[in-house]
Amino acid sequence: MRYTCYMLISSRLPSVCCLFTLCLFLILSFLSSVAGVPRIYTHTTMIVAYALRQSRFIFAAIFILIFLVSLQRTFLPNINPSPQLSLYSSSTPYDPNIPSSLPSVPANTTANSTLGFGAILAVSAATSKRRAGLLWAANLTAIEIVIPEQPVWTDEDLEAFRKKEGSRIDRGSALAWLGHLNALKWFLGSGLETALVMEDDADWDIALRTSQVFLAASALRSLLPSHPNYWANTSSWELLHLGHGPENIDSNLFHRIHSHPYMNYTDSSIPLPTSLDSSTSDLLHNLAVPASTRLWHRSYWPLGSYAYAVTRASATKLLTHYSTEKTVAFDVALLEACRDRNWDCWTLEPGLVNEFKVPSEIATVNAGGDVGNENIGELDEDMEMTVNIRCGMRQPGFWVEESDVQGRKEMIERAGMGLCPVRVETNE
């Protein structure tokens, strides 16, 4: 009842004040006219007359101000402040009940063909049969991928890369590391400002370009210092982990994530919690992240290099500090740079890119095999789908043989309409 009375009074207050001020103005005008022609001119009556005349002008100004406020309340009642992204920092107490979603998504959310980066680079050996599946997935989603050609690595190259004493890296991991360095060198030679580097077994959702990237980049721009760049100010980040393995879950997880700024945002294309892999589901649950929500946070344990973004400055640092063996694998080197060297790294949970479950090239090389023996176009239809991806573009249902030109054309049209070849559960 008290709340109702308060709302009623507050909604009518400008009109009441306006009427009251108008009455005072009329009274003062009358008194001023009477005091202005006194029968006996004294010092006191002159002061009173002067004060009344001045009061008229003051109350006239107040009347006009309140009248304008009343008009605003009457004719513009539905104007509200623009919706804000939910931004939490170490100085803001965490409350999982606070809504954390982006404003309504505009009709045109499609990113450009390089997803807002200068280029998308794929690390792929010249003989890898994974290229066919990777490039077909790129065609289906109208994404432009550059594959910097790698030299034929020799034993001398591997020997120069390895530690002189106490080397722990296997041959397959060393070759993969050299492939990443080769892509970074291509990027620096291109003159571009940013690049997304992915491995050739990367998989992504059918909505990656049409909505997922827009939402992720919008949230990042709100999280980091304001800047017109699509992926925020490049001086405020060095690595963006958009495709990675699970974050390490320990007793310090909650404090570690919330001791830095972080951002939740809604994305309806995320698989249901029951469809996420257990590590990701546990992580989001422990951090009280709602369903259909992604989380940007400062990286601590970003294991996996399925897809990561670099700037010219960070690519230079990687080539300077990690051009030779420093640990057992390149993704571990990225992890240590973020965790131990305090690089400005940010991780998206769940990631937009994940690892398509094909035979490991590293394991194949270590076993003495040839990566060229794999044929990604002929996969078993019962093969496990990519985790954390609702409708993965590398799944067998999308594959059409290169010789079937009409079939490929029709599949591209279906993918362009967002039609997934398998039934997917939605959050909507």
Q: Which of 356, 405, 409, 353 is nearest to 128 (CA)?
A: 356
pLDDT tens digits for range 119-140: 999 999 999 989 999 999 999 9
Helix (H, G, I), strand (E, B) or coil at 80: coil
pLDDT above 50: residue 422: yes
Structure tokens at 258: 């919330």
Distances (CA, A) of 19 to 66, 100, 102, 243: 9, 43, 43, 64
The per-residue pLDDT for 226 is 78
Mean pLDDT across the stretch 378-392? 71
Q: How many CA atoms lie within 13 A of 158 on its CB side?
A: 14
142-152 burial code (b ≥16 CB/10 A, e <16)? ebebebbebee
Mean pLDDT across the stretch 286-301? 94
Contact 267, 293 (CB under 8 A): yes
Contact 374, 364 (CB under 8 A): yes
In 89-137, DSSP assigns E strands to 120-123
147 or 98, higher pLDDT: 147
How far apart are the C-alpha atoms of 269 and 235, rounded to whole Å? 30
The residue count of the chain comes to 428
Amino acid at 91: S
Structure tokens at 124: 């792929």
pLDDT above 50: residue 304: yes
How far apart are the C-alpha atoms of 56 and 74, rounded to whole Å? 27
Instruction: Name the DSSP class of 263.
Output: E
pLDDT tens digits for range 60-102: 666 566 556 555 444 433 333 322 333 333 333 333 333 333 3
What's the pTM?
0.73
The per-residue pLDDT for 119 is 98
pLDDT above 60: residue 288: yes
Q: Which of 427, 423, 387 is nearest to 275 (CA)?
A: 387
